[in-house]
Amino acid sequence: MAAPAVRAARRWPVLALDLRNRLLRLPGLTQVRWSRYGPEYKDPQIDKEHYRKPVAELTEQEKYDLELRKTQHIKAAPATKTSSVFEDPVISKFTNMLMKGGNKVLARSLMTQTLEAVKRKQFEKYRAASAEERATIERNPYTIFHQALKNCEPVIGLVPILRGGRFYQVPVPLADRRRRFLAMKWMITECREKKHRRVLMPEKLSHELLEAFHNQGPVIKKKHEMHKMAEANRALGALGRARALCCKKQ
Amino acid sequence: MRVQIAATMLSRVTRLTSRTRQLDPGRILHTGSRAPQSVAAHLDDQAADDGPRAVSRTSEKDPARHGEQHEGLHYDIPLQDVGTLFPQSLPPRFSMQVKTFGEACLMVRKPALELLHYLKNTDFAHPAVRYVLYGEKGTGKTLSLCHVIHFCAKQDWLILHVPDAHLWVKNCRGLLPSAYDRTRLDQPAEASAWLKNFKTTNERFLSQIKVQGQYVWNKRESTERGRPLGEVVEQGLTRAKSATDAVGVVLKELKGQSRAGGFRLLVAVDGVNALWGRTTLRREDKSLVAAEELALVHNLRKMVRNDWHGGAIALTLSQTGSLFKPRKAYLPQELLGKEGFDALDPFVPILVSNYSPKEFESCVQYYLESSWLQHEKAHTEDGKKQLLFLSDANPGQLERLCAHL
């Protein structure tokens, strides 16, 4: 309930800063996710290539931006975001979701072991395959990971909407970030719950990722079930459109 | 162009030979005869290259012909040799790599070349010299030892290889009091495993070497003088209770007969600091077992003494599997302790360090050629610089890094 209010307040112009603060400190509205940084703080530019461009090649706009940033407040870069060439935001997000109890070291090692397991399995397949099949076998664990998660993303989702004292499961189009989140969440939940206790997480995760890459497996099945449920509840589509209109008005 | 290359190579080779003359006056003929062959080999390598691309492999499969010109290059060991020489005794990550790539490629590096040079020039009339490979974690001590073992196997030496001495002092189940000496303890499982690997490696020597003493195993079984050594090994494999005693007999016989000159013996022990360290084994009455109370350790300590001739002893120190040693310890004095150092003194220490820039480049090139580095940014200069920074040119760390990239 507080979230739409906070999101709405964020869209207001900077001049209404004290108004926004007063709204957020109203009784009954607790901020659950908030930052110590005010709106005047800008995000840091972590990309090394951005700074490597020689001064002569910058456009007028870029030169102006560079000068402007010298006077602005900049937030501190998070410890997990690096300027490494090997960094991947999807992998970082997945690692964070895999993490339990703040144990990032373990989560990261599980992630690297999973990628290694995927790579080794594909290499075994490659060696056993004939010359024509070799062209079709993908050995890059990162491509497999991204494609698998993309295959698991649902197109349409169900949202519970309260009308007349009852909750109706309404099919509604999902935002990009919600789809990515659902794909990763389903993958992790599937691997955690449907795993024998003697099987290690990297082994299970690599197996599920490879199956999802080929559009098979339990996570893809879950996505299809979600689509089928949405298709079944198609009649409630009007409620979903009414909700969307209500949100836009806010 | 070819004449200029040959001229520079010859001048380099004469500088090499003049250096060896200072070190070892008696051996100049040996190295001198090798020199024109190595020049030819290098020219052949150069001829085989088309263009100035970095080369990471060499086609020279015989370790006896590896020289300074092969430094940093990978050579591959045929898989049946790997199965014979290293049955379950390769480091786990390397054996995973062999399984994935389908080939066992070792890099030719300076410490291994130095040790090969010493082995080629051993005088078998003198007592066995002990060579100790030491270095920080992940620098390549075990694989350098494997390179040396491959060389000795090609030269028809008898290989006595203990892949990890730490496995004999920790996590052992089924300790039995020894039948030979009541104060010592037997380890039937470890002894049988070692005998099985020994049999696989040295199949052809087992029928040639004849036992020189009479050994009674129990009321019904005994081995007479003059029987082949293979019978002792079979006895140890069939009767688990006599396995440790069989190992002791094998070591004693080999030590006694190596001076006769019938064969040359290489004793290769990985993690030799385990023999003089503490153990985590306890008896049934929960009293701690000291290392010398284990019969296997006792016999191996006798083997590693330099009171026999007709071979060489190559040892490796290892902190990785060691017990009660700090993680950063890598020097012989730190890992062996006073007792171990005095027992091994005098020895030839050989430091194994991280990759040089050339070796690092060659390693990354090998991974790129075999498509192991799949990340699209790994081919770029930035990617290579980052790999160098993250791994600090440590071979073990680089391998783990490249495994998931």
Give the mean pLDDT of chain A. Answer: 87
DSSP states of A59-75: -HHHHHHHHHHHHSEEP
**Residue range A85-114: average pLDDT?**
96
β-bridge partners, B370: none
Least confident of B12-16, B30-34, B151-155, B321-325: B30-34
* Cβ-based contacts under 8 A for chains A and B: 36
A119/B374 CB distance under 8 A: yes
Residue from B380, B366, B365, B377 nearest B405 by CA: B377
**For residue range B41-92, what is the model confidence (pLDDT) as tens digits?**
444 444 444 334 568 888 888 899 988 999 999 999 999 999 999 998 899 9
Confidence of residue A144 (pLDDT cuts 50, 70, 90): very high
Question: Which residue bears the tokens 């009674």?
Answer: B216
Closest residue in chain B to residue A48, using alpha carbons only? B382
A85/B96 CB distance under 8 A: no
Please report which residue ranges of A11-159 form alpha helices under DSSP H: 17-24, 48-52, 60-71, 89-98, 104-128, 131-134, 141-152
B386/A86 CB distance under 8 A: yes
Q: State which amino acid sits at residue B291.
A: A
Which DSSP category does B309 fall into? B
User: To the nearest whole percent, how much of chain B has pLDDT over 70?
Assistant: 87
The contacts found for B386-394 with CB under 8 angstroms, 24 or more apart, are B386/A84, B386/A85, B386/A86, B388/B360, B392/B354, B393/B354, B393/B355, B393/B356, B393/B357, B393/B359, B393/B360, B394/B136, B394/B137, B394/B138, B394/B139, B394/B354, B394/B355
B404/A140 CB distance under 8 A: no
**Residue range A104-112: average pLDDT?**
97
Rounded-to-integer distance, Cα A116 and Cα B402, Å: 9
Residue B17 has pLDDT above 50, yes or no: no
User: To the nearest whole percent, how much of chain B has pLDDT over 90?
Assistant: 66
DSSP states of B4-62: HHHHHHHHHHHHHHHHHHHH-GGGHHHHHHHHHHHHHHHHHHHHH--SS----B-----
Identify the contact set of chain B against chain A, taking CB-CB distances under 8 A.
96, 100-102, 371, 374-378, 380, 382-383, 386, 403-405
Dihedral over alpha carbons B370, B373, B375, B376 (to 10 degrees):
-50
**For residue range B276-317, what is the model confidence (pLDDT) as tens digits?**
999 999 999 999 999 999 999 999 999 999 899 899 999 999
pTM: 0.83
- Please report the pLDDT score of residue B262 as a whole number: 84
Give the mean pLDDT of chain B. Answer: 86
Q: Which residues of B touch A141 (CB under 8 A)?
A: 374, 404
Closest residue in chain A to residue B390, using alpha carbons only? A84
Query: What domains, with CATH codes, occur in chain A?
Result: 88-239 (1.10.455.10)
**Residue range B150-158: average pLDDT?**
93
Residue B275 has pLDDT above 90, yes or no: yes
Q: Within 10 A of B96 (CB to CB), how many other CB atoms are there?
A: 15
- Please report the pLDDT score of residue B261 as a whole number: 76
Kindly report the backbone phi and psi dihedral angles of residue B271, in degrees, each rounded to the nearest multiple of 5, phi listed first.
75, 45
Least confident of A52-66, A216-230, B361-375: A52-66
Q: Which residues of B touch A119 (CB under 8 A)?
A: 374, 403-404
Confidence of residue A23 (pLDDT cuts 50, 70, 90): low
- Please report the pLDDT score of residue B180 as a whole number: 85
- Please report the pLDDT score of residue A232 as a whole number: 92
Residue A28 has pLDDT above 80, yes or no: no
Mutate to test the interface with A, among B371, B372, B375, B399 (most CBs of A within 10 A): B375
Comparison of pLDDT for A98 and B45, the residue scoring more? A98
Counting Cα atoms < 13 Å in the Cβ hemisphere of B354 gives 14
Which DSSP category does B292 fall into? G
Residue A158 has pLDDT above 70, yes or no: yes
What residues contact A53, with CB distance under 8 A and at least 6 apart? A62
Closest residue in chain B to residue A117, using alpha carbons only? B404
**For residue range B238-257, what is the model confidence (pLDDT) as tens digits?**
998 999 999 999 999 999 99
A86 touches chain B (CB under 8 A): yes
